Amino acid sequence: MPKAILYLEDGTSFIGQSLSTTGETAGEVVFNTAMTGYQEVLTDPSYAGQIVVMTYPLIGNYGVNPEDVESKGVHVKGFVVKEFCRRHSNFRATQSLIAYLNENKIIAVEGIDTRALTRHLRLSGAMKGMISTKDFDLKSLAKKLKAIPSMEGGNWVKEVTTKKKYIWKSEGKKATKKPRFKVAAIDCGIKFNILRILEQHGCETHVFPANAKFSEVMAIKPDGLFLSNGPGDPAVVTDVIKLTKQAAGKLPVFGICLGNQIVGLALGGKTYKLKFGHHGANHPVKDLESQRIGITSQNHGFCVDMKSLNPDEVELIHMNLNDQTVEGLRHKKFPLFSIQYHPEAAPGPTDAQYLFDEFIRMMECHKKKK
């Protein structure tokens, strides 16, 4: 296997081996603490622009299959593990993870001490990095890395949003009954399972690009507005922030992940970058109303500053128990709430499914008032 180097912007480097895909790639280096779900990680648009380090030492043991993808492609810039499994075993698998990564031309590296790398990122924070199989000169890599933009201020949503509006339909499935609700979903990097769950709840989901105008959304006469997950800095996704401001009080609104940050910004708040982000499937979150604690899946590098919001209008409804950061917001007057983590990812596995039920209840009330 070709030799590979992972070079970080603070000058730290790690040597490993690449799979058959060679060359160079760069992005923000983050670590993910999930033990499974690597295919969902690779195809989650929220990872656009990032090199992902998996903390679990053996990755690929159950292969990959076409049913578990979360989008139409692989979005990570690179993939780093301690060891790739050569002999996968699962009745649903259609190919190995190694073959899948090579098919999608993703530079993947193994043999790196991922414990040391994770600890370094944990202490120093997520940072830009470059993987190379052809250039091992540290000065040269440092020069190349300086030209790579950081996640702050970069509009990665433009890279992953749909180009045209469409109506979601699960492949190979026919609608068994007429949809009860019409939902306008703003695609900032939406995951397929969110769309599947909305469909299961009786929603006809119209998926709009991130630059959609409020008038275009209202033209379909929706019962509710959904704001999706997505990559990068929420503060630069100005079209969606503007749309959310216009929709607040006029439509029921539900946001997930980046959608939570968009809600915070639309309601007059601010966001900030976390030191190393939340990436994994084992984050404890407390529902402050029910006092229940759920095990959640998370993938974000930015957070809403609760102190920047008006407490007379907005309340904190969910809190991260690891660092007490914002995990959920709700408007006190309007039918509007948002969640920072991923209820559709189901690590609980059903700890957070009730949140979709809450969105349905809001739309039912809204329809009755029409």
366 Cβ neighbours under 8 A, 6+ residues apart: 223, 224, 251, 252, 335
Q: Which of 188, 203, 257, 303 is catalytic?
A: 257
| Alpha helix (H) residue ranges in the chain | 38-43, 97-103, 114-124, 138-146, 157-160, 192-200, 214-218, 238-247, 258-266, 354-369
Buried b (16+ CB within 10 A) or exposed e, 9-30: beeeebebebbebeebbbbbbb
* CB 128, CB 26: distance < 8 Å: yes
> Is residue 278 helix, strand or coil?
strand
Q: Which residue in 127, 133, 165 sits closest to 146, CA to CA?
A: 127
The one catalytic residue in 9, 199, 327, 344 is 344
**Phi then psi dihedrals of residue 291, to 5 deg:** 70, 15
Beta strands in the chain (DSSP E): 3-8, 13-18, 24-32, 50-54, 58-59, 78-80, 83-84, 108-110, 127-132, 166-167, 181-187, 203-209, 224-227, 253-256, 270-287, 293-305, 314-320, 326-331, 336-339
Q: Is 344 part of the annotated catalytic residue set?
A: yes
Q: Which amino acid is at 252?
A: P
In angstroms, rounded to a whole number, what is the distance separating the alpha carbons of residues 255 and 149? 27
Give bridge partners of residue 144 from the DSSP assignment.
none
Q: Which of 120, 283, 331, 342 is catalytic?
A: 342
Q: Are the CB atoms for 30 and 55 separated by under 8 Å?
A: no
Alpha helices for 147-191 (secondary structure H):
157-160
Answer yes or no: 342 catalytic.
yes
Residue 353's Cβ-count burial label (10 Å; 0-12, 13-18, 19+) is middle
> Catalytic positions, please?
257, 342, 344
